[in-house]
Amino acid sequence: MDGSFGITTSEAGEAFQRAVDTFLDTALTDELRAAGRATTGLKSAPWACAAWREKLHAQGWYAQSWPVEHGGAGWSTEQRLYFENACAMRDAPLLQSSGIRTIGPLIIAEGTPEQKARYLPAILNGQHEWCQGFSEPQAGSDLSALSLRAERDGDDFILSGSKIWTSFAQYATHMFLLARCEAGSTGGDGLVFLLIEMDRPGITVNPIRFIDGDHETNEVFFDRVRTPAADRVGNIGAGWKTAKRLMAIARSNNTTTGMLRRAFRAAERGYRDSGYADPALQARLAELDLRIDMFEALEVHAGAGRIRIDEAPATSVLKVLATELHQAITEIGIELAPNSDFALAKYFATRAATIYSGTSEVHRNIIARAIGCP
Ligand SMILES: Cc1cc2nc3c(=O)[nH]c(=O)nc-3n(C[C@H](O)[C@H](O)[C@H](O)COP(=O)(O)OP(=O)(O)OC[C@H]3O[C@@H](n4cnc5c(N)ncnc54)[C@H](O)[C@@H]3O)c2cc1C
């Protein structure tokens, strides 16, 4: 890749690009770049995330796609892609904030004025970190089988049950969750989408460790946890509709071009350091580079509204393509640098990408239905 980021260059203004380049060249210290380079999972080390978030927030660039009136940068897709690529090429820390990516945009779209005032500034300044409480032991692909109970008691709900696979719950101050508020209801009926504080009495977070010892996901138990009924998005009983909107947002930015380019750079670096010279592997690497450009083109189409990203099949396509490409890059990463622990850690870290936010099989079912397959 020549660093011009294909189609993004022609469409983004030169002044914008200069401003981004100048900012990144000044703001990214050697320590921050080293932390970015050392990242194997979805987030860089907590200290690096905090330091980088602070610098981006001070510049007004932390929430790149949020509207300006809510504290975002209000950037177009081309501008966001230019910024992400420029960050990737300089090994900036990887933030991957659930508040910025998923629940913030949902609150902007559907939250009450009070929720916007309370939650959006706290996401931007890093006071609030969010996690997603959807999956349960008996409700994964079939999410509507969930059974966390939300019993009404005056102005509150009382939550009883558990969630599983909750990413980064150990750092989260808040969780958005889906609970069953109508006893006896089944499927997507009778659910409520709640926003809750993680320090409420009765919440316990237990770690689930990955095969490589990493700790990203958790079990979260709710033992009669009291939380205000007003802290919900959408109507009581209509939580499924809100969750579907949230999932469409989450799938549309699950794995971005910037993340793919970081993984690609890491694979290239590993290859260089390993001293290998294998033309066949080099050809496969070049093909992956092209596939990243193609995915970027798709992101631009989606951002320009030429693909309806509020529709499930389109977000399923984005999610499947990006996560499978991410895996292909880290797979070749271990072939290019077979003795590298780092390449191996990156390989393991991307295995779950085709499981979370809906498995590839489930998304292929959605796409198949959309194109009329039986
Ligand atoms: C690393 C990681 C992080 C996660 N983070 C979160 C999080 O933060 N919050 C959260 O709520 N959840 C999270 N999840 C949970 C994730 O969303 C679920 O694991 C996923 O939806 C699959 O559910 P399941 O694990 O119960 O598998 P199952 O639903 O039991 O599926 C098992 C297998 O059957 C296949 N299958 C199931 N149904 C069908 C079908 N209809 N057609 C074809 N194949 C099918 C699946 O593709 C899969 O291969 C995370 C998971 C992982 C691994």
- Report the atom number in ligand 1 closest to the C-alpha of 169: 8
Show the tokens assigned to 188.
Answer: 């997507």
What is the distance between the alpha carbons of residues 116 and 6, in angstroms, rounded to a whole number?
36
C-beta of residue 217 within 8 angstroms of C-beta of residue 187: no
C-beta of residue 343 within 8 angstroms of C-beta of residue 233: no
Among 2.40.110.10, 1.50.40.10, 3.50.50.60, 3.40.50.300, name the CATH number for the domain at 130-239: 2.40.110.10
Residue 356, ligand 1, Cβ within 6 A = yes
Q: Residue 140 Cα, ligand 1 centroid: separation in angstroms?
A: 5
pLDDT at site 326: 97
For residue 207, list its beta bridge partners: 218
Q: How far apart are the first and last CA of the chain?
A: 41
pLDDT at site 3: 41
pLDDT tens digits, 113-167: 999 999 999 999 999 999 999 999 999 999 999 999 999 999 999 999 999 999 9
Q: Which CATH superfamily is domain 254-370 in?
A: Butyryl-CoA Dehydrogenase, subunit A, domain 3 (1.20.140.10)
C-beta of residue 80 within 8 angstroms of C-beta of residue 65: yes
What is the distance between the alpha carbons of residues 258 and 325, in angstroms, rounded to a whole number?
12
- Report the atom number in ligand 1 closest to the C-alpha of 359: 47
Q: Whose CA is nearest to atom 43 of ligand 1?
A: 361
Q: Where are the domains of the chain?
A: 7-96, 130-239, 254-370
Residue 144, ligand 1, Cβ within 6 A = no
pLDDT at site 87: 97
* Coarse DSSP helix, strand, coil percentages of the chain, rounded to the nearest 5 percent: 50, 15, 35
Nearest CA among 192, 36, 175, 165 for reference residue 102:
175
β-pair type (203-209, 215-228): antiparallel
Q: Which of helix, strand or coil describes residue 87?
A: helix
What is the distance between the alpha carbons of residues 162 and 168, in angstroms, rounded to a whole number?
16
Amino acid occupying residue 169: A
Percentage of the chain surpassing pLDDT 90? 80
pLDDT tens digits, 28-39: 999 999 999 999
Q: Residue 326 Cα, ligand 1 centroid: separation in angstroms?
A: 18
Q: Whose CA is nearest to atom 27 of ligand 1?
A: 140
Residue 315, ligand 1, Cβ within 6 A = no
